[in-house]
Structure 1
Amino acid sequence: MTTTVEATRRRLGRVGVWLNAVTTTAPADEQRRAAAAIERLGYGSVWTGEAPGGRDVFVKLAIWLSATDRITAGSGIANLLARPPVTTRGASDTLADGFPGRFVLGIGVGHPRQAAGVGQDYGRPLTRVRDYLGAMDDSSGGWLVPAAAPALRPPRVLAAVGPKMLALAGELTDGAHPFASPVETTAAAREILGPGKLLIPEQGLVYDPDPARARDAARAYRADVLKQMERAGGALALPYGRNLLRLGYTEEEITQVSDRVVDATIAHGDEEAIVRRIREHLDAGADHVLVNPLGTDFPGIITALERLAPALTDLS
């Protein structure tokens, strides 16, 4: 496992890209061009996620990998509510075999509303994740079609922001992929994981040289996120909200559009402000930070990545 972690660190570099839910609506050809552009710009990886019933994350990554030559692609996350463990293992191994060394499997548990939507009992997240990861590697089912393992096993990281899920990530996988969290979470995650595990946080951002306009856009995005959280059971019922509570943010700050939470969770402003936040994550122990330009304008997202690339890809 240590060899896998070290090789992945070298391959990824310091900064990658997380593309948001707009990839569920952008045509495949546009996504191919975007993946190729991100590779040309020098970013080390490109990631996206999925929700049950949406476009399959493994298929999306296969499209991106086929359109590029070197860049690593990551699932952030492959939602365990979307498929059985053996199917996740098969899809992961297929990508690893087709694109050796270029795929990172990120897995996460989703949330209760998603589980209800696909007719599943959400249960206890820690137990569910532990059982799922164990079943991925269980070859005792005699009815399963045997398949050769890929020559290079893809690294696995677990979506985690709380101490218990982070500890589970350190125990059973190659590391953690925190999402929508402040730099303090990165520091806490590194302390829990120790030095021998991958730590790949996502960082949402609004790039705009006008600081007031950038902050307004970040506040608007946070307001939209809160609406989504309410539909999913409320901010304090989800790991992201509980994580902020642990870090000392008040219930009012978490459940309202507070400047303190906006500033902590979304990097906003000019190039210098964005680079400063990414450096803070790296200094706190991140191996590789995924920049996520927020918004629904896919060409605008790529333009932001182009403008930030010279400074971000030069970080060491």
Structure 2
Amino acid sequence: MTTVTEARRRLGRIGVWLNNAITATAPADDQRRALVRIEQLGYGSAWTGESTGGRDIFAKLGVWLAATDRLVIGSGVANMWARPGITMAAGAATLAEAYPQRFVLGVGVGFPRQAESVGRSYGRPLARMREYLDEMDTRPEAALTPAASRAETPYPRVLAAVGPKMLALAGERADGAHPYAAPVATTARARAILGPGKLVIPEQLVIYDPDPAQAREQARAYRAQSLSALQVIGGAAGSPYGRNLIRLGYTEEQVSTVDDTVIDAIIAHGDESAIAERLHEHLSAGADHVLINPVAPDLPATVDILERLAPAVLDV
């Protein structure tokens, strides 16, 4: 069985992406309790991201893996500026060996400010990622001790990718792609570029509110407070996610102001059926596994939303 085939079997169709701003500060005990609840609800995976200077993602995901029995755990993504490539590869191999078939490594190039925070130049992200993958895949001779040279437990590697060139690199050098903050059209493009033999695992931001009008108001508030401020979307020139939307046909004004058409494209908002329908759209467009990212103030509230959504979305 190939790494991709085994990952598809283990992941199932629907997983969870937990906001990094929450998992970066929530106590470890709270995270353990949350992950146990997520596993009990029946979700196939749980992921979170990483910035520079915060909690190490391999240590955090090690806590998650130890707290659960079956849940697949993924990095969405491990930031390349946080560690050298050889250290990234070693951390992933350690978790994969300790928890076979339960770990997916997502790697991403992040943002210019993250590179600058560690005294590096962001440069050309595609070239930077290619160089970093070379570093991950090249074992220095000094590391080839009898213990280090044994056959490693295989694990899937996916790249944070929304644009066609990074998606092509994901097809060339990884087991697939993990699009973030992107509409269903990006999922379809990822599948077209990657073909049937690679993983496509998109994240889907969710605002749950049975009242559609209130849900959209919350989406507008989240746009104002988080999307632009954190450059999740940002201006067309300053964000790969903004440039992606422009490639898909949105105007620079729509992207820079994050208007309602952009909100509707990147945020699934409304009741259970509306959110389930968006997940179905991703799956129909070629996603193997879709990650729900609920907007919530803290970890317990996040899992409460996941519990309310589970009967509808896990049937997708």
Match of 1:219 in 2: 220
Q: State how many pairs are aligned.
A: 312
Unmatched 5+ stretches in structure 1:
none
Where does 1:246-285 land on structure 2 (aligned, <5 Å)?
Answer: 246-285=247-286
Match of 2:304 in 1: 303
Cα drift, residue 297 of structure 1? 2.5
Cα drift, residue 257 of structure 1? 3.3
Partners of 2:74 and 2:179 lie apart in 1 by 13
Partners of 1:33 and 1:190 lie apart in 2 by 35
Unmatched 5+ stretches in structure 2:
none
Partners of 2:208 and 2:230 lie apart in 1 by 23
Letter in 2 for 1:56: D
Partners of 2:93 and 2:120 lie apart in 1 by 26
Pairing 1:5–2:29 present = no
Identity among equivalent positions (%) equals 62
Match of 2:68 in 1: 68
Match of 1:34 in 2: 34
TM-score (norm 2): 0.96
TM-score (norm 1): 0.96
Letter in 2 for 1:66: A
User: Residue 107 of structure 2: SS of its match in structure 1?
Assistant: strand
Aligned partners of 1:49 and 1:76 also within 8 Å: yes
Match of 2:231 in 1: 229
Where does 1:58-207 land on structure 2 (aligned, <5 Å)?
Answer: 58-139=58-139, 141-144=140-143, 146=145, 147-149=148-150, 151-207=152-208
Match of 2:49 in 1: 49
- Please give the per-residue CA displacement for 1:97-152, whole angstroms capped at 9, x wherever unaligned: 1101100000000111111111001111111111111111212x233363145653
Letter in 1 for 2:104: V
Aligned partners of 1:94 and 1:150 also within 8 Å: no
Partners of 1:136 and 1:234 lie apart in 2 by 32
User: Residue 295 of structure 1: SS of its match in structure 2?
Assistant: coil
Letter in 1 for 2:12: G
Partners of 2:287 and 2:151 lie apart in 1 by 28
Distance 1:83 1:68, change over 3 A: same
Letter in 1 for 2:10: R
Cα drift, residue 295 of structure 1? 2.8
Match of 1:17 in 2: 16
Aligned partners of 1:28 and 1:63 also within 8 Å: yes
Letter in 2 for 1:226: S
Partners of 2:154 and 2:235 lie apart in 1 by 38
Partners of 1:41 and 1:150 lie apart in 2 by 35
User: Residue 196 of structure 2: SS of its match in structure 1?
Assistant: coil
Distance 1:149 1:43, change over 3 A: farther
Aligned partners of 2:228 and 2:234 also within 8 Å: no
Partners of 1:236 and 1:267 lie apart in 2 by 25
User: Residue 230 of structure 2: SS of its match in structure 1?
Assistant: helix
